[in-house]
Structure 1
Amino acid sequence: MPSRNVIFVGTARTPMDLVDRLASFGTATVHEAMGRSGYLGPRLRPIWAGARVAGNAVTVSVAPGDNLMAHAAVEQTTAGDILVVSPTSPCTDGYFGDVFATSLTQRGVRALVTDTGIRDVAELKELGFPAWSSAVSAQGTVKATPGSVNTPIVIGSVMIRPGDVIVADDDGVACVPRAQAQHVIDQCEIRLRKEVDIKRAFASGALGLDLYGLRELIDELGVEYSQAPPIPG
């Protein structure tokens, strides 16, 4: 990450046809298709249920308790983006609310992902603006401290670069590196085809022990089957 405060303009983005295809799979499938990587962790939760989106990341590094750079980032957004915000040290203050969401919506931004607090939850739900945050807090912020826009940031041990694809739904948030978007789509499609066959087998009465070859594994691990003892009395 750069040591200076900077706003990078004109950053490359993932083509929207790939972004929208990734949205259709959802967070869990994308995470599994990437070899169980890219998941930003369980702390980020949707502020209202039912949204499923994907978009190009516009990344923001902000100071604790200060949303100045988030406002600066709005100018760098375009339709199909997701604003992704990480504080330089932990902070649960409410960085965003319905007024901020109105500005983002006007520019076609699809959602907000922030490792901070958020507020005006009822109003955001009424607006239909999806957001994922690590906290909900009425505590507001100031606008006084420099930071950076469109530089790499880290949330939940995952590096997020501008133009990476953010996938978010009720299961949480995942990040797909821009260069891997098509490969991840291919892996998601393979995974879904397998799941169709597995669901069909389960529906006909098959057991996971047999479908996944787990009986042999249980035996190798030394797990024994034994008749249950009689119940006393």
Structure 2
Amino acid sequence: MFSIAQRCCPLGFALLLTAAQASAQLAGFGPDQLRKYTPLNPYERLADGRPAIPEYWLERLREASTTLAQEVLAEHGYPNQFEGGWTNHEAGKKLVGRAFTAQFLPDRPDVMEIAEADSKARGEDAHPTKRVIDLLSPGDVLVADIMGRVEKGQFGGDNLILGLFLQTGRGFVINGSFRDLDGVAEHGMPVFVRGYHPGVREDAMLSGVNTPIRIGRVTVMPGDAVLGDRTGVVFIPPHLVEAVARAAFERRQ
């Protein structure tokens, strides 16, 4: 079995700054809005406006548990950043990275017609899942809301998800499902989903990328740090990443 980390191109920060240049996205927040709604961000920003949390601090988060992280966040006035109840077939591996969000809504023909026409005019892939994957960069964790569906809420199958792994070198969080578990599992990446189903996604249109989304009880902002373990997933605002990492260090002393 090959290593996703070995296959994922080490394009580094330059690609992070350029991969989403098309990100006057499908709908939702552009760079200016992301700057406006994440004013406490202490780091530089990616081209799409997301906070560029340094890899150093993301790696320090691996030393934290979601329980500790949620305690720290609650102490700072953020009590609603944890979501549990996931299916995770690599429960022993932590998921850490920068959130890249995608939102799916129930189909509505008049809206879909305009959105698909705009996407075609921009030269984007006709397949919504591929469209999202094409925008991902190394270090991104896709966080997608497909309305919590298992049946008819599949993000994709093993071939598309392999493409996602190769783009990011990370796993993902899908408030929905995927198919072809055997093919996905052989790559050994940590993923969090509501379940698995052999069917295909139906009655779900891609309504936005890099926009605030709801995952269970959490409002997830593009660029949040994602930390997933056996307990669940916590979404950490960038300005609190160092507080969580330092608390984890102190806990080990």
Query: Which residue in 1 is equivalent to 2:62?
Result: 23
Letter in 2 for 1:80: G
Name which of 77, 88, 101 aligns with 1:46. Answer: 88
Secondary structure class of the residue paired with 1:114: strand
Name which of 134, 139, 149 aligns with 1:91. Answer: 149
Name which of 164, 174, 179 aligns with 2:239. Answer: 179
Residue 149 of structure 1 and its aligned partner are, at CA, apart by 0.4
> For residues 3-22 of structure 1, what are the structure 2 equivalents within 5 Å?
5-6=27-28, 8=30, 10-12=48-50, 13-22=52-61
Number of residue-to-residue matches in the alignment: 189
Q: TM-score, normalising length from structure 1?
A: 0.71
Query: Which residue in 1 is equivalent to 2:135?
Result: 76
Alpha-carbon separation, structure 1, partners of 2:93 and 2:222: 22
The Cα offsets for residues 53-72 of structure 1, whole Å up to 9 and x where unpaired, read as 20000000013589954432
Alpha-carbon separation, structure 1, partners of 2:247 and 2:127: 39
Tell me whether 184-193 or 13-22 shows the greater mean CA deviation: 184-193
| Structure (1 or 2) with the larger CA radius of gyration | 1
The Cα offsets for residues 9-38 of structure 1, whole Å up to 9 and x where unpaired, read as 623221111111112223222223323835
Q: TM-score, normalising length from structure 2?
A: 0.66
> For residues 102-181 of structure 1, what are the structure 2 equivalents within 5 Å?
102-142=162-202, 145-181=205-241
Preserved contact between residue 226 and residue 233 of structure 2 (Cα < 8 Å): yes
Preserved contact between residue 90 and residue 188 of structure 2 (Cα < 8 Å): no
Residue 98 of structure 1 and its aligned partner are, at CA, apart by 1.2
Preserved contact between residue 167 and residue 175 of structure 1 (Cα < 8 Å): yes
The Cα offsets for residues 39-83 of structure 1, whole Å up to 9 and x where unpaired, read as 542222313332212000000001358995443222221111100
Alpha-carbon separation, structure 2, partners of 1:136 and 1:64: 20
**Which runs of no fewer than 5 residues in structure 2 stay unpaired?**
1-25, 31-46, 113-125
Change in CA separation of 1:64 and 1:17 when aligned onto 2, cut-off 3 Å: farther
Secondary structure class of the residue paired with 2:61: helix
Alpha-carbon separation, structure 2, partners of 1:105 and 1:28: 27
Identity of aligned residues (%): 23
Query: Which residue in 2 is equivalent to 1:221?
Result: none
Secondary structure class of the residue paired with 1:189: helix
**Which runs of no fewer than 5 residues in structure 1 stay unpaired?**
194-233
Runs (4+) off by over 4 Å:
6-9, 64-69
The two structures, once aligned, show a CA RMSD in angstroms of 2.7
Residue 94 of structure 1 and its aligned partner are, at CA, apart by 2.3
